[in-house]
Amino acid sequence: MNRNMAKNYDPKDFEDRIYEMWESSGAFRAERDPEKKPFTIVMPPPNITGQLHMGHALDQTLQDVLTRFRRLQGYSALWLPGSDHASIATEVKVVDRIREEEGKEKEDLGREEFLKRAWQWKKEFGGKITKQCRKLGDSCDWDRERFTMDEGCSKAVNHFFVQLYNKGLIYRGNRLINWCPQCGTSLSDAEVEHEDKNGYYWYFRYPGADGSEGIVVATSRPETMFGDVAIAVSPEDERYRDMVGKTVILPLVNREIPVIADPYPDPEKGTGAVKITPAHDENDFQVGQRHGLENLCCINEDATMNDLAGKYAGMDRYECRKAWVKDLEDGGYLVKTEEMVIPVGECYRCHTVVEPMLSDQWFVRMEELAKPAIEAAKNGTLRHVPDRFEKVYLHWLEEIRDWCISRQLWWGHRIPAYYCEDCGELMVCEEAPQTCTKCGSSRIRQDEDVLDTWFSSALWPFSTLGWPEETEDLKYFYPTDVLVTGYDIIFFWVVRMVFSALETTGEVPFHDVYVHGLVRDEQGRKMSKSLGNGIDPLEVINQYGADALRFMLTTGITPGNDMRFKKDRLEAARNFANKLWNASRFVLMNLDEDGVEEVDPALWKDEDKWILSRVNDAVRYVTETMEKYDLALAGQRVYDLIWNEYCDWYIEIVKERLYGDDEQDKKTAQYVLVRALRDMLTLLHPFMPFITEEIWGFLPGQAEERDNADSYLIRAKWPVYDENLTYPEEVRCLEMAMDIIRSIRNIRAEAEAPSGKKLRAIVLCNKDKEPVARAGERYVRTLANLTELTFIGDKSEVPEEVMSAVVDGAEVFVPLDDLMDYEAELGRLQKEKKRLEGEVRRVDGKLSNQGFLSKAPAKLVDEEKAKKVRYEEMLDKVNQRLALVEKKIGG
RNA sequence: GUUCCGUUAGCUCAGCUGGGAGAGCGAUUGGGUCACAACCAAUAGGUCGGCGGUUCGAGCCCGUCACGGAACACCA
């Protein structure tokens, strides 16, 4: 039997080995066990282009903690992993690689060859993150790992697309979309980030066609003037009333455009007159629609000007802006220039300024789809944790506009729409048609575009379980229980999963959304590539161990709030692991060869009952907080239990028995030590799976079972709160003993007596407390490092030369011989007096308040009354001592 | 502009449905004690951002202001 734990805690010694042991034994596999309740989490699929960063580490650790907790509770816990094809990001990477290695553009290769390269790239780098996840200890079911572009998910995408199309919820239209000239594709509204930039308002005069002064209009984007088709003013605006219905001249271009009245312009803003460019501005587009105006596009897809811009054609949009403003100024049309902060939209991938453009794209009609998703949140079928995020979710859904889903890229799910080359018929179907359903032609062309990455992500909770097939997994594990994700991704993902699931499966994809914040650097800045302030989780694991990282990430947070990555908190977590390691080693070293046997509770000592009831309390607290997703509180409680109660008190108390001669008592202590440790390891396991599993393997009865996967901690039983395991009497005894011990230690420190020096102590206690105090004698003697502890029944027996302390129900005296320091004693007593007076004052205040007496709960009033008695008694004793000491010093 | 979050010990943060302010780190003091110096023991540090209100009672609820941060919107 191997019970020798390594002397030093070094996570490198076992973390990889433990993980391998779990994985190869199938500990992560979730079976469809009809005897068990399912618990399901789908992992937000990391991009195949990415590397594991702190955000993943947080996100995944939270999921792993929840999964392990439920698995221990006896659920069939499935954590389903996978990765996302990340259309734009991957395409950019592959394009770069081809350019670098082959000196070619993707167009040179053609679509088919390009896709071969992309799949090759996926094969080489796509598994990177999932490999790194293992270092974190992620207990996901790798046998069920999925990819958004694998066969099943692709089938789900086509099925969903066709279903929506057939219901009229997907349409193709010529609408204003966000265009990224760098990525060369359209973007959805969610993919545009707004940023304020320094810019200008240029005020230009559009002369009247009749030779009048015309109208002055402000713009921050003069280059779009080539697409102007009207000037709009408010019908309420007196200044321009006469102009409505007339025409003005587009400067230098010399095109005549009408002045129209429309509610859109706000007379307060700018000059109150707005140039209308329907092809390059959403609001203008709507004005154009209302007035039947033409849409004039003047900018190309690569952000150069087109022929409409005349001599500027071919110029970049910003170069054109410069030249055009100069020319207008020279022509005398520039009235004034104003510096302004201009909000601009940027591509969330490459941060190029997005150009609003009129374009043929595919859209999802959102109005109908949004309704059940809104309802699900409102009626509580879908809960947000913390609940304030429900507001964010609802706000987005209530304001939602149609979703542009087509992308002008190659890497992704190709849109399942087909056109007949002969008659132009449009066919939308899951499998490519061989012939045109209308004219029978076999000249069929598939739509060139691919779908928004998020279109497939939206199906993730059910496509990964087999949808649209009615698989056994789908029936058993769906809907999933909780989705864990950052708040930055609610719009992209959470909202879309909910409405897609409600539309297809008729159910919410998950009941709870647990939203967490961002991991920031030590100074509170966002971790980013450009700042270079990112911290690599793998390096942290290498240095401190995965358990320390996990504990730090999960206990240092409040749900929904950002956290700072502080090194000292990481060290604290590592130190905690070290503490647990050493305590466990101590326990194991003090066991007999033949292990431990259950000991009848009749033989338990007070401290045994005390620690077991503390563990029992923690079991209830930890279970409750975990179920409410208050992981930080749960983790903190286990920390306190292990360090402050088990190590600092119980182990210290029990040492004497372990080293003593009473064989039965020794066995009792061993049994309780192991029993408490076993429960604590289980409670801590979700947070620190490696170290707890490693220690578990050394416990008596486990070592022989090392080949039996069912005996691993990962598969153990979560402890259940036991109503019979409460011992109020014994707990009170221990607490009194601790009070006395603390008071003696305090006296020792105040008197600057060396902590190694043995002291004598005398306890004078209230009659009713005497049995309790005497019961604690053993602990006090040992833990306060005393040679002698005597109990006296009367004040007259107190020697003269003593330092004293008052605790609840007793007075403690320490004769300090030649070390006697009356000044220190005086200071201590005065401080104590002040404190007690404060307490008495507070309690008196409450008890003299009629409102409190009549309105506060009776239990509370009684408690306060009891406190008053206690404090006054203690204060009285302190005052008596004080008088004595003052007399001594004075005399 | 709309909405949201934060403001608690020197620092970073907890504080569950209102009922005697906590932790970690840091500081100070003492300790090489046979599980652990990645440790032990003890101590000091807070009119819980300001002002009003509700309540017998407010760090917690309401209003308001200040400062810090975020999301959404806005390119006349």
Calculate the angstrom distance between C1' of B35 and CA of A61: 30
- Residue range A164-187, pLDDT digits in tens: 999 999 999 999 999 999 999 999
Per-residue confidence (pLDDT) for residue A891, from 0 to 100 = 56
The strand B neighbours among A residues 391-450, by Cβ under 7 Å, are: 391-392, 395-396, 399
Q: Rounded CA gap, A624 and A85, in Å?
A: 38
Strand residues in A718-825 grouped as ranges (E): 759-765, 786-792, 802-807, 810-815
The span from the CA of A346 to the CA of A351, in Å, is 5
Task: Determine which of A133-147, A606-620, A788-802 has the lowest per-residue pLDDT on average.
Answer: A788-802
pLDDT tier at A577 (50, 70, 90 boundaries)? very high
Q: A278: Cβ under 7 Å from strand B?
A: no
Please tell me the pTM assigned to this model. 0.93
pLDDT value of residue A341: 85
pLDDT of res. A850: 86
Tell me the two tokens of residue A754. Answer: 């060396």
Q: Residue length, chain A?
A: 891
Å from the A835 CA to the B46 C1': 16
A471 compared with A769, residue with greater pLDDT: A471
In which element (H, E) is residue A512 found?
A: strand A510-516
Q: Which nucleotide is nearest to A756 (CA to C1')?
A: B31
> Could you give the CA distance from residue A191 to residue A193 in angstroms, rounded to a whole number?
6
Q: Residue A857 CA to nucleotide B59 C1', Å?
A: 22
Q: Which nucleotide is nearest to A265 (CA to C1')?
A: B76
pLDDT in tens, A674-725: 999 999 999 999 999 999 999 999 998 876 666 677 899 999 999 999 999 9
Sheet of A170-180, strand order = A185-187, A170-180, A355-364, A403-404
Q: Are strands A480-486 and A510-516 parallel, antiparallel or unpaired?
A: parallel
Q: Where are the alpha helices (DSSP H) in A244-355?
A: 282-291, 317-330
Tell whether the model's pLDDT for residue A757 goes beyond 60: yes
Q: Is the dihedral of CA A513, A516, A518, A519 positive or negative?
A: negative
Does nucleic acid strand B have an atom less than 7 angstroms from the CB of A837?
A: no
Contact A552, A578 (CB under 8 A): no
Nearest-Å Rg of the Cα atoms of chain A is 37
The 10 Å CB-count burial string (b at 16+, else e) for A419-445 is bbeeeebebbeeeeeeebeeeeeeebe
A356-374: average pLDDT: 94
Nucleotide nearest to A752 (CA to C1'): B30
For the residues A628-646, what does the mean pLDDT come to? 95
Q: Is the CB of A348 under 7 A from strand B?
A: no
Asked if strand B comes closer than 7 Å to A571 Cβ, the answer is: yes
Angstrom distance (rounded) from CA A76 to CA A41:
11
End-to-end alpha carbon distance in chain A:
69
- C1' nearest to CA of A633: which nucleotide? B14
Predicted local confidence at residue A820, as pLDDT: 61
pLDDT of residue A818: 54
A237 touches strand B (CB under 7 A): no
Tokens of A860: 């509370």
Q: What confidence tens digit (pLDDT) does each residue in A581-601 have?
A: 999 999 999 998 888 899 999
Protein CA A856 to sugar C1' B57 (Å): 9
Candidates A540, A175, A575, A190; CA nearest to A356 is A175
Question: In the prediction, which pLDDT does A256 show?
Answer: 94
A817: pLDDT strictly greater than 70? no
- Asked if residue A13 keeps its beta carbon closer than 7 A to nucleic acid strand B, the reply is no
Spatial CA neighbour of A252 closest among A225, A273, A271: A225
Q: Which residue is nearest to nucleotide B40 (CA to C1')?
A: A648
Q: Tokens 């009170």 belong to which residue?
A: A732
Separation between Cα atoms, residue A203 and residue A336, nearest integer Å: 5
**Is the shortest CB-to-strand distance from A220 to strand B under 7 Å?**
yes
**Predicted local confidence at residue A51, as pLDDT:** 87
- Is any atom of nucleic acid chain B found less than 7 Å from the CB of residue A222? no
**pLDDT, tens digit (0-9, with 9 covering 90-100), for A394-439:** 999 998 999 999 999 999 999 999 999 999 999 999 999 999 998 9
Q: Dump the DSSP string for A682-744.
A: HHHTTTSHHHHHHHHTTSTTTGGGTT-GGGSGGGSPPP---TT---HHHHHHHHHHHHHHHHH
ipTM: 0.95
The Cα A172–Cα A419 span in angstroms is 13
Residues 650-689 of A with CB under 7 A from strand B: 651-652, 655
- What is the C-alpha separation between A279 and A855, in angstroms, rounded? 69
- Distance in angstroms: CA A778, C1' B19: 37
State the pLDDT confidence band at A1, using cuts at 50, 70 and 90. Answer: very low
Higher-pLDDT residue of A339 and A15 is: A15
For A350, the enclosing helix (H) or strand (E) is none
Nucleotides of B under 7 A from a protein CB: 3-6, 12-16, 19-20, 23-26, 29-33, 35-36, 38-44, 55-57, 71-76
**Per-residue pLDDT tens over the stretch A521-571:** 988 888 888 788 889 999 999 999 999 999 999 998 898 999 999 999 999
A726 Cβ contacts chain B strand, under 7 Å: no
Average the pLDDT over A742-750 and give the result. 88
Provide mean pLDDT across the span A637-644.
96
Percent of chain A exceeding pLDDT 70 equals 98
Q: Is the CB of A872 under 7 A from strand B?
A: no
Phi, psi at A121, each rounded to 5°: -60, -45
Residues 542-561 of A with CB under 7 A from strand B: 556-558, 561
Q: What is the pLDDT of residues A479-520, one digit of tens each?
A: 999 999 999 888 889 999 999 999 999 999 999 999 999 999
